[in-house]
Amino acid sequence: MSGKPYFCKVNSTKDYKLILSILTVAIVWGTTYLAIRIAVETIPPWFVTGIRQSLAAILVLGILLYQKKLKWIGRKNFINQIILSSLMLIVANGFTTIAEKHITSSLTSVLTATSPIMVFLGAVFLKLEKFKVKSVFGLLLGFSGILLIFWNGLQDLLNPDYRFGIFILFIGIFGWASGTLYTKKISVNTDNILLNLFYQFAFAGIVQLIFAFVFTENYNFENWSFHSFLWVIYLGIFGSVIAFNAFLYALKKVNPSQISMLNYVNTIIAVILGWLVLSEEITLKFILATILIIAGVFIMNYKPGMLRGKG
């Protein structure tokens, strides 16, 4: 571990590719909430996420074929990838996409930012982590933010559409947290990430498209707008493939805990874009709730030396 602060290290070495990668992850993943919200305006949610994952699978397949790295990953690893795909893509990404049909992109991004809280509680339950003073303080801040969001908006929960969106979103958050915990329990081959991603994207794309045709009552393709479809393509190319590859490159250069801090930037970008582009209402109370949630998650995740670069 070097003694230089992380940002100083980036500037001193002039690793412009690293800087570009970090900016890509922060900005692109911050825009995905906006993209989903626009996409589901005219395209049924399961089609949005199914096409997104299928497009990502095709792009990754092309890269693997070009690099001549496409191969069978073995039965055990295949099962692991299917489980991860089911939890993090089919459930987490799929249900989040459905939720944005019913609630705003800003609210979705802020509530999704609470996923590390669910991960922590699950890790404590599975005895992977222990409660600490900072963990309790972080939990209190995070839950305070959630309560602040709904405190004066309890009447909104009387709206079945809004209530359904919140319920579906928390299923999605649970799926992401479960997938994160599962990765802690298994040994993942980090040298084969792109190949693993192909199997995850392909499986999720197939399953979600099946869900789309089975569970969508009216999928009249004539009602799909070109504008919405462009955002689906954006999600597949930029949200899934480009941003994730940028994430993997940055992960080789800096510590995972540093990269995790980009989640806070993603939330802020998503809230600002929802306000600017979609005219979503952002109140002072909502901003305070966002700050409480981000602060709570940061305190829970903070570790000494997390702001320093790799040696």
Residues 41, 32: Cα–Cα separation, whole Å: 14
Residues 239, 261: Cα–Cα separation, whole Å: 18
CB 37 within 8 A of CB 105: yes
Res. 189: pLDDT tops 80: no
pLDDT tens per residue across span 9-22? 444 445 788 889 88
pLDDT tens per residue across span 266-278? 889 999 999 999 9
For residue 304, the model assigns a pLDDT of 67
Listed residue (144, 171, 186, 190) closest to 291, CA to CA: 144
pLDDT tens per residue across span 121-177? 888 888 777 778 888 888 888 889 888 887 756 667 778 999 999 999 999 999 988
The CB density around residue 81, as the number of other CB atoms within 10 Å, is 22
Each domain of the chain, given as residue ranges in start order, spans 6-301
222 DSSP assignment? G
Listed residue (97, 103, 108) closest to 51, CA to CA: 97
pLDDT tens per residue across span 195-241? 989 999 999 999 999 999 999 988 889 999 999 999 999 999 999 89
Res. 258: pLDDT tops 80: no
Task: Find residue 308's DSSP bridge partners.
Answer: 5
Q: Which residue has the tokens 């990754």?
A: 60
Residues 140, 136: Cα–Cα separation, whole Å: 6
